[in-house]
Structure 1
Amino acid sequence: MRTLVVYTYPNHESLSYAFLQKVVKGINENPLIQELQILDLYEEGFNPLLVFNKQKRRRDMHTDSRLETYRNQLTWADKIVFIYPIWWGRPPAMLLGYIDQLFASNFAYKDKKGLFPDGLLKGKSVVCVSTMKGPTHYPFLWLNNAHKILMKRALFNFVGIKKVKFFEFGNMESTKGNQTKKLEKVYNYFKKIDQ
């Protein structure tokens, strides 16, 4: 199993980075995961801004040469792991900019007749590890599960990825947030994951 981890947080002395370290530790101890690539969007200097003009059209994003390495990573991966905070009920703009540019027509999906496109990333699976200041059930109770609907239905299912797992950890800025327990939960999951 080839695994791509996409990390989206600008501080390497943070809880988000601690989650990245636990994910990587679990993956490295899992004999079923042969290869691992880590993409740190901030460290990479990824440009999340979309620019369209006469020379650069939205329908041509799948051929943009500056995104070729990132497309190759997504094609290569069997499993894609996203690690990010939830800000204002959704992922950070940096990650959304990555998604806007990489999950493009004729790469991640192909339009066809009917309501839904042909997802071109079939067979892959995704794990989202996210943290937030608010309570764990805040997105579900107050935002009608907007984060999961955005990521699973509007994005991953649209491009053919049906197997999606979420770890949404709340109260992460509280001294009673059980951070150590949650870090171990993620570590144990990746250490034992088999598909």
Structure 2
Amino acid sequence: MKLLIIYTYPNHESLNYAFLQKVLKGSGENSNIKELQVLDLYEEGFDPRLVFNEQQRRRDMHTDPTIEKYRKQILWADKIVFIYPIWWGRPPAMLLGYIDQLFASNFAYKDKKGHFPEGLLKGKSVVCVSTMKGPTHYPLLWLHNSHKILMKRALFNFVGIKKVKFFEFGNMESPKGNQTKKLEKVYHYFKKVAY
């Protein structure tokens, strides 16, 4: 299995970075994972802004040469891992900008007759590791599960990725947030995951 980790947090001394380290440690001890790449969007200097004009058209995003290497990473990967905070009930703008550019028509999906497109990324799986300041059940009870619906239904299922696993951790700024236990949970998952 080939693993692509997309890390989206601007601080390498953060809890999110600790989750990245646990994913790397568990993956390094997993014989099912043969190859691994990490894309740190902030360290990479990824530009999340969309630019559409006479030279750059939305319908041509799937061939934009400036993001070709990122398209190749997605095609290469069997499993894609996203590590990010939940801010205002959704992923940060940096990650959403990556999604807007990379999960484009004629690369991630193709329009066809009917209500739904053909997903072009079938056979891949996704894991979302997300952290938030608020309580663990806040997205479910207050936001009607909008974060998971956004990521699973509106994005991944749309492009053909049906297998999506969530680690959605709340209370992460609290001294009673069980951070160590949650870090170990992620480590053990990646140490054993087969696909």
In structure 2, the residue matched to 1:15 is 15
* Shift in Å, 1:155: 0.1
In structure 1, the residue matched to 2:153 is 153
Q: Which residue type is aligned with residue 42 of structure 1? A: Y
**Aligned runs of 1:38-77 on 2, under 5 Å?**
38-77=38-77
- Structure 1 segments of 4+ aligned residues over 3 angstroms from their partners: none
Query: C-alpha separation between the residues in 2 aligned to 1:114 and 1:57?
Result: 25
Query: C-alpha separation between the residues in 2 aligned to 1:64 and 1:54?
Result: 14
In structure 2, the residue matched to 1:34 is 34
Which runs of no fewer than 5 residues in structure 1 stay unpaired? none
In structure 1, the residue matched to 2:184 is 184
In structure 1, the residue matched to 2:78 is 78
* Shift in Å, 1:140: 0.2
* Shift in Å, 1:171: 0.1
Q: Which residue type is aligned with residue 62 of structure 1? A: H
The SS at the match of 1:161 is: coil
Query: C-alpha separation between the residues in 2 aligned to 1:80 and 1:48?
Result: 19
The SS at the match of 2:66 is: helix
Q: Which residue type is aligned with residue 85 of structure 1? A: P
The SS at the match of 2:160 is: coil
In structure 1, the residue matched to 2:104 is 104
RMSD of aligned C-alpha atoms?
0.2
Query: C-alpha separation between the residues in 1 aligned to 2:24 and 2:5?
Result: 8
The SS at the match of 1:160 is: coil
* Shift in Å, 1:125: 0.1
* Shift in Å, 1:101: 0.0
Which runs of no fewer than 5 residues in structure 2 stay unpaired? none
Q: Which residue type is aligned with residue 144 of structure 1? A: H
